[in-house]
Structure 1
Amino acid sequence: MKVAIWGSYNYGNYGDDIMAIQFAKYFKSINVRPVVYRLNKQLAKRYQIQTTDSLNELFDDAEFCIIGGGGFLVENFSAPFEEDFRRLKIVSSEKNCPVYPISIGGEGLGKNTSLSYWRQQFFQGETCKSSSVRLPSDRALIHHFGKEVNYYPDVLLSVSEFWQIPSKIKYNNIINVGINIPNTIQCKWLAFQLSVIASIRRDIVFHFIKTYLPSSPINTELRPKQLSSNIKYHVYTDPKLTLEFLASLDLVVSYKLHLGLTALALGVPFYSLGGSGKAKAFLNSIGADFAVWNPGDKRFKVAAFLSNPQNIIQAKNRFNFTIIDKFAVESRGHLELLNKLVKNVSSSFR
């Protein structure tokens, strides 16, 4: 049985890639042949996953298609993404292939969300079937389009179990902080402040993080001007390697949702710095509003917080990991839903 996996996988982005690969690995575990749309060729080869850049080839002979995660219910949507949905709507209709959006999400606005034209056309269309969403508020939006919907916490909250990432044991008193910030003037000032802190406090190491593959054309994240024993640079090349790296940290500060969310899933606290609405909505859902820093905090507040080792060490205690662990278990619902879809299709062959 062939199943198509569609998503924004052509940018070499950590959060999107790990969702595509996790869904594909799950399908393979239940003897289904997944084909992923526009996954990086090297990652596809490494994980033995079939990929294609052709939408027609993706849908040919597919029993059904899933949208494999993503923030497709957010309001601000760029032209390339809108064009992708136009093509998805047209080709899925031509091929008469059902599409099931899985673990998609918005910004907590629910039915008040204003979606772009082609997304509305897709979600209202005949080929779009039932969905699973990662925020409770997103259910009202999908219901608004007349479709069935299930809520489960974000599928990537299960990364520790799914990818078998062990907890790291600390062998010294060095504090490791992951920093993922955009390449803006304010963030450059923050990076300078962190370099000063690193030169004074030899017990703190700041790891700047690039969440795009080296081959990606996107270069919006800040890279430190100079590296040292206390200023390091992690470049995403493989989901598992980045997961193992995240597990070694004491704190992650990021403006990206899934870098921080997967860190939390590994037991590492996550603070969102000037992040998107979907990052704020997720942190709100786990009772961690305190972990949202506003863009203006980049100037002084963040550096002051990170200059004190006790703030970093105690950050984990502020999070309710009982809720996070509970969400991790419940997040398996997305994969269980896929299993039911496969069984329903298989039973129709008998």
Structure 2
Amino acid sequence: MLDLALRQSGFPVSIYRLCDAYSKPFGLQSVSSADELLENADVLLWGGGGLLVSWPDMLYRAFFPGVSSEFDSLILGSIEKGICLAACSVGGDGALAPRLTPGYKERFTRAAAFMTVRNPQDLAVPGRFGIPAACFPDLMWLAGEWLPSPARRPGGMRIAFDLYPGALLRKLAPYLVPVIQQLVNERRDCQFYFLDSTNAGCKPYRGLGRFIRGANVVSHQFSDPESDFQFLASLDLLVSSRLHTPVIALQFGVPVVSLLPEGKTSLLLANLGLDSLTFGHHRILDLYRLLSGKKSLDAFLRDFRFPDILSLRAEAAGHLRFLREHLA
């Protein structure tokens, strides 16, 4: 969304390793190497993500092998070439660590000329380094301005789980697999989709659909923007541990539940006053009771309180205004 917004504002943009299925429909230029990205570049802009979230180095390297060194090289190459570093709509998890880890996060943040963040709590990090910064709601609240609004599909209840085995292992929650299997067995009146939001052309399916069985179970992987958005809009409920998939679903009028979320997701929901949608380890039984009972789930969906999407969208545009002012 950031790249699309910048291009529409007249800035030439190259994106690092965005697959063709997502770059070509919007006419965006994707490059596959750091050299291509930095060639003739004036600014290296970090868009979104958990830049301000610290991870233990060994854990990060175990789950994301090679990523830390790749980003280190990219950042150091930019600094050597005198390219301006900046960040837009980045965020943390509310914890102000003495040092951002892995090291590339600290290195980028210290070198940044300016940044915008998505949570008021995040301002403490650029403030520590004396970096000009501003806070606005997550840039993805602007997605509704550019994404189509597909019609909802008629038919039975459609529930999607946006959860991943690796995340369950990190959170010591493999026990959720038999719990979800029991839910699927009980709610045969519902269609359950186990989502992988990575593109099918880039990586093989890695969702929970590999472990859950049933005639009412479907494994679904994202493939292209139009069909991805149609899928999200078709749902009656999204259960997710992620950040941006729920933000998009909410804009399509789809209620969401955040199951064992990352800290950055919990922080965003708390700032929206939606803490009640977060289900940690201590609330798994509550969630099971909610989803397994037809009356309880129907009531939850009927009474679901959506955030003020239009206000969030208007405020999120501040990221782009701040960028234009500092890039002019």
TM-score range, shorter chain: 0.7 to 0.9
Matched, 1:63 2:42: yes
Give yes or no for contact 2:199–2:223 (8 Å, CA) kept in 1: yes
Question: Residue type of the partner of 2:118?
Answer: R
Separation in 1 of the partners of 2:269 and 2:98? 19
Give yes or no for contact 2:197–2:222 (8 Å, CA) kept in 1: yes
Question: Residue type of the partner of 2:147?
Answer: W
Aligned match of 1:340 in 319, 325, 328?
325
Matched, 1:179 2:179: no
Compute the displacement of 1:89 (Å): 2.6
Which whole-Å deviations, capped at 9, do the CAs of 1:245-294 have from their partners, x for residues lacking one? 11221211111111122212322221111111111111101111111111
Question: Residue type of the partner of 1:314?
Answer: A
Give yes or no for contact 1:251–1:315 (8 Å, CA) kept in 2: no
Separation in 1 of the partners of 2:287 and 2:204? 26
Question: Residue type of the partner of 2:123?
Answer: R
Aligned match of 2:185 in 181, 193, 196?
196
Root-mean-square deviation (CA, aligned residues, Å) is: 2.4
Compute the displacement of 1:57 (Å): 1.9
Tell me the SS of whatever aligns to 1:137: helix
Matched, 1:130 2:109: no
Tell me the SS of whatever aligns to 2:13: strand
Tell me the SS of whatever aligns to 2:48: strand
Aligned match of 1:145 in 126, 129, 139?
129
Question: Residue type of the partner of 2:16?
Answer: Y
Please list every run of 5 or more consecutive structure 1 residues that lacks an aligned counterpart in the other structure. Answer: 1-21, 345-350
Structure-2 change in CA distance of 1:42 and 1:247 (3 Å): closer
Matched, 1:115 2:107: no
Correspondence list, 1:269-308, <5 A: 269-295=255-281, 297-298=283-284, 300-308=285-293
Compute the displacement of 1:320 (Å): 4.2
Matched, 1:327 2:306: no
1:104 alignment partner in structure 2: 90
Compute the displacement of 1:310 (Å): 3.4
Separation in 2 of the partners of 1:262 and 1:191? 24
1:233 alignment partner in structure 2: 219
Give yes or no for contact 2:194–2:207 (8 Å, CA) kept in 1: no
Separation in 2 of the partners of 1:227 and 1:251? 19
Percent identity between the two aligned chains: 25
Give yes or no for contact 2:163–2:240 (8 Å, CA) kept in 1: yes
Which whole-Å deviations, capped at 9, do the CAs of 1:158-201 have from their partners, x for residues lacking one? 222221324x34645x22211122235323212311321233xx
Give yes or no for contact 1:286–1:320 (8 Å, CA) kept in 2: no
Aligned match of 1:52 in 31, 55, 68?
31
Aligned match of 2:253 in 263, 267, 272?
267
Separation in 1 of the partners of 2:137 and 2:204? 29
Please list every run of 5 or more consecutive structure 2 residues that lacks an aligned counterpart in the other structure. Answer: 169-173
Does 253-262 or 311-320 show the bigger shift?
311-320
Separation in 2 of the partners of 1:26 and 1:162? 9
Separation in 2 of the partners of 1:328 and 1:340? 19
Give yes or no for contact 2:272–2:307 (8 Å, CA) kept in 1: no
TM, length-normalised to structure 2: 0.85
Matched, 1:24 2:3: yes
Matched, 1:157 2:167: no
Give yes or no for contact 1:198–1:206 (8 Å, CA) kept in 2: no
Separation in 1 of the partners of 2:163 and 2:43? 38
2:17 alignment partner in structure 1: 38
Give yes or no for contact 2:54–2:97 (8 Å, CA) kept in 1: no
2:171 alignment partner in structure 1: none
Tell me the SS of whatever aligns to 2:53: coil
Which whole-Å deviations, capped at 9, do the CAs of 1:110-161 have from their partners, x for residues lacking one? x446412332222222xx1110001110001111011011101111112222
Give yes or no for contact 1:187–1:222 (8 Å, CA) kept in 2: no
Separation in 1 of the partners of 2:308 and 2:193? 28
1:313 alignment partner in structure 2: 298
Separation in 1 of the partners of 2:93 and 2:302? 26
Instruction: Give structure 1 regions of 4+ aligned residues with deviation exceeding 6 angstroms.
Output: none
Tell me the SS of whatever aligns to 2:187: helix
Give yes or no for contact 1:74–1:113 (8 Å, CA) kept in 2: no
Separation in 1 of the partners of 2:27 and 2:153? 34
Compute the displacement of 1:315 (Å): 2.9
Give yes or no for contact 1:179–1:253 (8 Å, CA) kept in 2: yes
TM, length-normalised to structure 1: 0.80
2:74 alignment partner in structure 1: 88
Question: Residue type of the partner of 1:278?
Answer: K
Compute the displacement of 1:316 (Å): 4.6
Separation in 1 of the partners of 2:192 and 2:68? 37
Question: Residue type of the partner of 2:45?
Answer: I
